[in-house]
Amino acid sequence: MSEMIESFETAKGHVFGDLLTARVAGKPLNIGLITLGFFEYWRMFPGTLKASVTEDMTCIYNRLGEQFPQDRIIWPGLIDTLDAAEAANKSLQHEHIDLIVYAAGTYCPDYMAIQVLENFRHVPVILFNTQHSNRINLQTNYENILGNSALIANLQLAATFKKMGWFRELKVVVGSIQDDEAYREMSSYIRAYKAYINLQTTNIGVIGHVFRGMYDFEYDKTMIKGTLGPNIISIQVDHLLEQFDKATDTEIAAVFEQTKERFHIVGLNEDDIHKSAKFYVALKNTLERFRLDALTLLGQHYVEQKTGTTSYLANTLMHEEGKYVVNTEGDVHGLIMMTLMTRLSGKVPAYAEWGEYDEELNALLMVHHGYADTEYATDRSTVKVNRSPEQWGLQGAGFGFEYTLKPGVVTISHLIIDADGYKMLIVKGEALHIPENIPCEEITAVVQFAVPIKRFLAALIKEGFAHHCIIAYGDLTEELGYIADFMKIRKVVY
């Protein structure tokens, strides 16, 4: 008899009727490159103009391939007739294009572009207004002028789109064929779109609920799916506790020994470390059993009382491994931002709370509840493991990390839904060098801002953002702005 299919809530096996059996991996982008010339010109300048334009368009193809080695750049070649436009249209439809880069190598009438683009009005289009060089050649001839006449075609085409109501969010990039800044700008936009579309198939688990009284974190699963994209899956806490009870001695021992070997542990006994290692095994097995990509866990009170420990070792190790993104206190919106910023930067960001300000440094103290990738420490040799300063019904000392984040440019973000809908916070700052860890039994950072600190805080409070923030290293402000636009939500940038 075949296995009876049940819901993941009750099934004992590993196939469920309401979860996909195979995890949906982030897929590579299919980037269509559409390049145009004009057949009329080839006979006027035989043997040279078409070859020159084709060489320029080939350069774009090669540069995009270098920027996106994990994705597919699909180029049907130089389009110079209506038949070629129709053939390219059919070819690109077959390839299921996610995004289009459009470039004209000469002036060309808008009907060819319309022919190739009319079946792709649902995907973003980057119009790359390009020319052979970024300088005017005062000794030029008419053939070279034709080879640099894409601006005429692009103005005509963009005006046509405006009249037709097509591609209302057209992204325009201006630069010469070898302009590094133009390719950087296109790369930023494409990377943001990839992170956005992969969010649509992300499974986020929620164990427990938002911490009592944190109304700023409350969420609506339907609004999240409809506006932001990911699937929110409620996981009963019993599933985690079942995995905690089932964790084997062999699984626990490996994590236990690794933890003792790697970290300077102060004030914890072996039972505290053992329970934290057991929690790591339980959390990882829960994520894998339910095909989750990310998970938020309330932690306080019930789970910590039942397991006798915190999730902080588990969260830290998972962030270092980079396969899963996890946080606490039911902060689903923060978890979504962490997932996006991980895909943009390649590393799981830190998760913190706003703290006290320093007017002389024009900076804020950020405080984190005891877990983050230890690579962010100013000096990894000074990372300390200590008790959890907040005790939520623990039997023992718990488990938490103490260190201060290293210096560097950071991007701070979060999401919130208010009476006017969703909005995204986007702030660039700089984590300052703090030579010695702040001895507060937590993870800390001192972040400096460009805006005067008291004015920044007044604006942040008045705007009404959550009391948590996500801190990623690097400048991700441009990409996050694009993602907010893809989501059609407001962005608040400081």
Q: Which helix (H) or strand (E) holds 37?
A: none
> What pTM does this model have?
0.94
Asked if residue 219 is part of any domain, the answer here is yes
Q: Calculate the alpha carbon distances from 313 to 39, 274, 305, 343 in Å.
A: 65, 11, 16, 22
Do 194 and 248 belong together in one domain?
Answer: no
Q: Are strands 30-36 and 72-74 parallel, antiparallel or unpaired?
A: parallel
Residue 94 lies in a domain: yes
Pair 148, 36 in one domain: yes
Q: Which residues contact residue 339 at a Cβ distance below 8 angstroms, ignoring those fewer than 6 apart?
A: 199, 202, 204, 230, 293, 294, 325
Q: Containing H/E element for 338?
A: helix 332-345
The answer to whether residues 167 and 212 belong to one domain is no
417, 220 in Cβ contact below 8 A? yes
How crowded is residue 81: how many other Cβ atoms within 10 Å of its Cβ? 14
Find the radius of gyration of the CA atoms of the chain. Answer: 27
- Nearest CA to 35 out of 126, 120, 105 is that of 105
DSSP-derived secondary structure letter, 16? B
- Judge whether 278 and 247 are in contact, CB under 8 Å: yes
- Closest to 417 in 3D by CA, of 333, 358, 335: 333
Centroid of chain to Cα 22: 22
Does residue 470 lie in a domain region?
yes
Could you say which of 176, 198, 220 is where a domain stops? 198
Place of tokens 């440094």: 361
Q: Do 217 and 192 fall into the same domain?
A: no
What pLDDT, on the 0 to 100 scale, is given for residue 1?
A: 44
Find how far residue 287's CA is from the centre of its chain. 20
Residue where a domain terminates, one of 198, 224, 258:
198
Whether residue 131 is found in the same domain as residue 205: no
Instruction: Give the pLDDT of residue 393.
Output: 64
In a domain, 138, yes or no: yes
* 265 and 319 both lie in a single domain: yes
Q: Consecutive sets of 10 residues in the chain, 494 residues long: mean pLDDT of each?
A: 78 84 83 97 94 97 96 97 97 96 96 96 97 93 93 97 96 97 98 97 90 80 95 94 96 96 93 96 96 90 84 96 94 96 97 96 92 95 88 76 97 96 98 95 96 97 94 98 98 96
> In the chain, how many domains are there?
2
Tell me what pLDDT residue 446 has: 98
Q: Does residue 25 fall inside a structural domain? A: no
Strand 408-418 versus strand 421-431 pairing type: antiparallel
Q: Is residue 4 part of a domain?
A: no
Residues 128 and 255 occupy one common structural domain: no
Are 126 and 63 within one domain? yes
Shared domain check, 179 and 227? no
Burial string for 305-315 (b: 16+ CB within 10 Å, else e) reads eebbbbbbbbb
Q: Quick one: 277 and 345 in the same domain?
A: yes
- Whichever domain contains 168, its CATH number is 3.40.50.10940
The rounded distance, in Å, linking the Cα atoms of 120 and 93 is 8
Residues 6+ apart with CB under 8 A from 20: 291
Q: Do both 238 and 146 map to the same domain?
A: no
Alpha carbon distance 147, 177 (integer Å): 12
> Residue by residue, what is the 3-state secondary structure of 275-325?
HHHHHHHHHHHHHHHCCCCEEEECCCCHHHHHHCCCCHHHHHHHHHHCCCE
C-alpha 441/C-alpha 433 separation (Å) is 19
Residues 6+ apart with CB under 8 A from 420: 490
| CATH number of 336's domain | 3.40.275.10
Which of residues 136, 168, 198 is at a domain's end? 198
Other CB atoms within 10 Å distance of the CB of residue 334? 25
In a domain, 6, yes or no: no
Structural domain includes residue 15: no
List the one residue out of 351, 353, 355 whose CA is nearest residue 453. Answer: 355
Alpha helices per DSSP H over 200-263: 221-223, 237-246, 249-262
Domain range spanning residue 232?
200-493
- Residue 419's Cβ-count burial label (10 Å; 0-12, 13-18, 19+) is exposed
Q: Do 188 and 251 belong together in one domain? A: no
- Determine contact, residues 56/81, Cβ cutoff 8 Å: no
Burial track 267-298 (b if 16+ CB lie within 10 A, e otherwise): ebeeebbbbbbbbbbbbbbbbebbbbbbbbbb
Sign of the CA dihedral running 38, 40, 43, 49: negative
